[in-house]
Amino acid sequence: MLILGLHPGYHDGCAALYEDYDLLAAVAQERLTRRKIDGGRVPTEAMAEVFRISGRSPAEVGAVVLGRGVFPSRYFTHLTLGRQLESLVRRRLNKEKHKSMEREAMRALRTDSEGMFDGPRFLRDHGLPAGAAVRFFNHHYAHALPTLFHTDWPDALLYTADGGGDNAQYSHRLFRDGRLTDLFGGDSDLLGRTRIDSLGLAYGFATQALGFQINKHEGKLTGLAAYGQPHLAEALAQRFAIDELGVISSDFIDNRAMKTFIFDWARDQKREDVAASVQKVLEDMILESVRRLLARTGVRHLGLSGGVFANVRLNQRLAEELPVDEIFVYPAMSDQGLAAGGVLQYLLERDGLATWLSRRWRLDHLYYGGSYEDTADTVLGSDPRFVKVEGAPVATAARLIHEGRIVAIFARGMEYGPRALGARTIMAAPIDPTINQTLNDRLERSEFMPFAPVVREDDAEAIFDLGPVKTYAARFMTTTCRVRDAWRDRIPATVHVDGTARPQVIQRAPNPLYYDIVGAYAALSGIPVLINTSFNVHEEPIINTPQECARALGDGRVDYVVTEQAVYARVV
């Protein structure tokens, strides 16, 4: 059965399409509209794109799974007569309001969102079959389930943390003895008071206090933290607590009070020290929370998801300081992953846990966005601004990188999630640390952390201290690790000031072009590592189409673009 997942959140709207347990396509709304973290409405562009990618028809859909996000008021069936009349008047004036299903459910003290929603009308309005099932998923359940589904673990703690969703900021779930148990953060939270306990939101407020944008620039603080001293950490940490069950709380009366405190706390302080302090509080609190849960449950595997776990330094500490055999951070850890996680919740509820577990599979890649391999060379090759470079793509790209050039790769399907992983990636040699500033200038970025290294699986352990605990996570650049001493001076452009790096460990089968360029560069240079940074300009999402690729090449953001068929350069 074809199952469509949609998340109409205030940010990171997204869509995913499954054929039962097979993921056919998954896309974030921002990649199509070119508005970073785009949301606040039903993600119709992303919905259309997953059908285009898969070659399937909306008429085939058997179920639609929705997040409790933002919908036009006409779809809400529980409204009082007065609110219904207001909605009708606004529609006739073309001023219809959008309402949050999460907020409406909390207001009505209901968890049965299907009973509050005009499913038939929604299906009709969006060209979906009248008989399709319409279901709502829980925000944190949808974060958590992919961390179990894409593993083969016999037991696990599934831990989620973010700025909030479905009136919760965390969830804890235990998988053991073939059973999945909610420990904290389920749908019942919709009926309770709003907890003011989000370390993710505190980190976001610190991001704002330093003049950056919340939900966009938290990664800048992660980079800045390495240059500061956490002397402010204690004052912030004292506002939070952890009980014996691992549940985090704070003494703030509301989120406004938390924001006011953090702005005052950060005022007139060095931004590096603010970043180091909020980073320390985040790391120490989450680490202790998870430690208590592991001690309580005795499991040996840790699944992590939610926007907090975009923080790769936190993920490294969890992997290295806790008694676990493996961690897995769902690569679409932000709300971009909720559409897929929502489908997995639907499948679990439809089929039962035993069947669901039997259909699990490990992720090999994230190339579930649009693939334009049949048109990319037509677009680039027919543009009079560009010329093909003589030679085979792999050898030519590797030679150019060895000569100090910046080469972007456009291949496979666009990556699903916030990381560029070899389909829309910019590559460069890692031997000159000044390349970081060069790339930042050309891409109009202001980053404080070196770019990530990409390395083939067979070479990874010799260069990076990963071990079995972090290797799966490192396939998707979701953790940092120590760079081995012998390699720090050989790949300085990828090494953080604390001697760590955020590697992407690759296998050949998912993307032979990418893998072979790394190998060809290694043969030329003796360095089996390249820089990988996302193919985008500051404040724009990662590129999607060949036309966006051509614009970047034409604007001089990169020196060359390599596809499966050729290498392209600007005409001199």
Taking the CA atoms of residue 321, residue 326, residue 329 and residue 331 in that order, the dihedral angle to the nearest 10 degrees is 140
Instruction: Give how far Cα 326 sits from Cα of 296, 301, 472, 486, Å.
Output: 18, 5, 8, 26
Q: Using pLDDT thresholds of 50, 70 and 90, give the confidence band for residue 520.
A: very high
Report the C-alpha gap between 1 and 359 in whole angstroms.
15
- Report whether pLDDT(572) > 90: no
In the prediction, which pLDDT does 99 show? 95
In terms of Cα–Cα distance, which of 277, 103, 151 is closest to 207? 277
Q: Domains along the chain?
A: 2-136 (3.30.420), 140-330 (3.30.420.40), 376-570 (3.90.870.20)
Q: Which one-letter amino acid corresponds to residue 241?
A: A
Report the C-alpha gap between 398 and 47 in whole angstroms.
37
In the prediction, which pLDDT does 88 show? 87
Structure tokens at 217: 């620039």
In the prediction, which pLDDT does 448 show? 80
Q: Contact at 8 Å (CB) between 304 and 328?
A: yes
Q: Using pLDDT thresholds of 50, 70 and 90, give the confidence band for residue 538.
A: confident
Containing H/E element for 562? strand 560-562
Average confidence (pLDDT) over 476-489: 98
Better pLDDT: 25 or 444? 25
Q: Contact at 8 Å (CB) between 290 and 229?
A: no
Report the C-alpha gap between 67 and 117 in whole angstroms.
12
Q: Using pLDDT thresholds of 50, 70 and 90, give the confidence band for residue 91.
A: confident
* 243-255 confidence digits (pLDDT tens): 999 999 999 999 9
% pLDDT > 90, the chain: 95
Q: Using pLDDT thresholds of 50, 70 and 90, give the confidence band for residue 305.
A: very high
Instruction: Give how far Cα 401 sits from Cα of 67, 247, 565, Å.
Output: 44, 49, 18
Q: Using pLDDT thresholds of 50, 70 and 90, give the confidence band for residue 134.
A: very high
Tell me the torsion sign for CA atoms 139, 142, 143, 144.
Answer: positive
Q: Contact at 8 Å (CB) between 326 and 469?
A: yes
Name residue, tokens 């070479």: 459
* 308-352 confidence digits (pLDDT tens): 999 999 999 999 999 999 999 999 999 999 999 999 999 999 999
Radius of gyration of the chain (CA): 23
How would you label 395-432 residue by residue, b for 16+ Cβ within 10 Å and e otherwise? bbbbbbbbeebbbbbbbbbbbbbbbbbbbbbbbbbbbe
Structure tokens at 80: 């009082």
- Report whether pLDDT(21) > 90: yes
DSSP string, 170-190: EEEEEEETTEEEEEE--GGGG
Q: Which one-letter amino acid corresponds to residue 72?
A: P
Mean pLDDT of the chain: 97
- CA–CA–CA angle 389, 518, 486 (5° rounding): 135
Range from 45-59, 85-99, 395-409 carrying the lowest mean pLDDT: 85-99
* 182-204 confidence digits (pLDDT tens): 999 999 999 999 999 999 999 99
Where are the strands (E) in 382-447, listed by range? 386-389, 407-410, 424-428
Report the C-alpha gap between 534 and 537 in whole angstroms.
9
In terms of Cα–Cα distance, which of 366, 3, 305, 9 is closest to 145? 305
Average confidence (pLDDT) over 464-486: 97
